[in-house]
Every structure is written in structure tokens, then in C-alpha cells.
């Protein structure tokens, strides 16, 4: 495994660990609106199952060569982490200074930032991995 793939693995785990609390808060709020307090237990169980499958997922085989498109995709993922950091910074600021200090509309640009760069970066990396697998099968 070369340094480009190690960098990608680190970037992927930062995204997973960083987005998990946001997904958990969103899911518990949404399920809690409809089901009530039992919904929180359901969401916790679903997240435990998701974590189990995430860690049991087979490790990808190392690529023979990491090209510039792969590294550019990893770079875009790291740019997406800037939006994630800004999102949590704004959440902490709102918690410290009270609920009325920050409008929810301030979160929208950061969400679009993360969606744009994460989706683009992960799709580029996945595409390069598929191309590499096809190249191995062909030869």
C-alpha cells in the first residue's frame, strides 16, 4: 500500500467519524418526532448495526499505481473536511452563545460545500479503483 492509498484511508475515516454525529442527531430527531422516545433506542441499534457492517466490510486490495486523478479526488475530500470543521465550529459557537446567536441558514452553505466536495472526491476515487480493477482483469 503506497502513501496515496494511506492518505485516502485517513481521509475516508475522517469523513466517517466526522459525519456520524450529524447523521445520528438528524436520525434521532426525525425518528423521535414520529415514534417518540422508543425511536432513540431504535436509532442507536441501527447505528450499531451500521458500525458492525462498516468494520466488517472487506478491505480493498491495494492499487498497483495511484495516478493524479486518484490523488485529486483525495484532495477534494480533504477540502470537504474544511466544511465539516466549519460546521462543527458554528455548532459549538451556537451552543456557547445561545440558540438565537446563529441562524440555521448559516449551516446551508457548509452543507452544500461538504456535499459538493465529498461527492466529487469520493466518486473520482471510486472510479479510479474500478478502472484499476478492470485493468487487472483485462491483463
Q: In this structure, what C-alpha cell is assigned to residue 116?
A: 459538493
Of 85, 66, 106, residue with least CA distance to 15? 85
Of 67, 77, 71, residue with least CA distance to 120? 77
Q: What is the pLDDT of residue 5?
A: 80
9-20 pLDDT, tens digit per residue, is 888 888 888 888
105-125 pLDDT, tens digit per residue, is 888 898 899 999 999 999 988
In the chain, domain spans: 3-138
Q: What is the pLDDT of residue 57?
A: 65
Q: In this structure, what C-alpha cell is assigned to residue 46?
A: 441501527
Alpha-carbon distance 29 to 40, whole Å? 8
Q: Out of 2-6, 78-82, 98-102, give the one with best mean pLDDT.
A: 78-82
29-41 pLDDT, tens digit per residue, is 777 777 777 777 8
Give the burial class of 59: count Cβ atoms within 10 A of its Cβ; 0-12 exposed, 13-18 middle, 19 or more buried.
exposed
> How far apart, in Å, do the first and last CA atoms of the chain sit?
21
Amino acid at each position: 500500500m503506497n502513501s496515496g492509498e494511506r492518505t485516502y484511508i485517513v481521509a475516508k475515516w475522517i469523513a466517517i467519524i466526522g459525519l456520524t454525529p450529524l447523521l445520528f442527531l438528524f436520525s434521532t430527531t426525525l425518528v423521535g418526532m414520529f415514534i417518540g422516545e422508543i425511536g432513540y433506542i431504535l436509532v442507536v441499534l441501527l447505528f450499531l448495526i451500521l458500525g458492525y457492517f462498516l468494520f466488517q466490510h472487506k478491505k480493498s486490495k491495494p492499487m498497483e499505481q495511484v495516478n493524479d486523478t486518484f490523488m485529486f479526488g483525495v484532495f477534494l475530500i480533504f477540502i470537504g473536511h474544511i466544511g465539516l470543521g466549519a460546521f462543527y465550529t458554528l455548532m459549538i459557537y451556537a451552543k456557547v452563545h445561545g440558540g438565537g446567536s446563529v441562524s440555521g441558514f448559516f449551516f446551508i452553505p457548509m452543507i452544500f460545500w461538504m456535499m459538493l466536495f465529498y461527492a466529487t472526491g469520493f466518486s473520482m476515487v471510486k472510479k479510479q479503483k474500478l478502472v484499476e480493477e478492470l485493468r487487472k482483469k483485462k491483463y
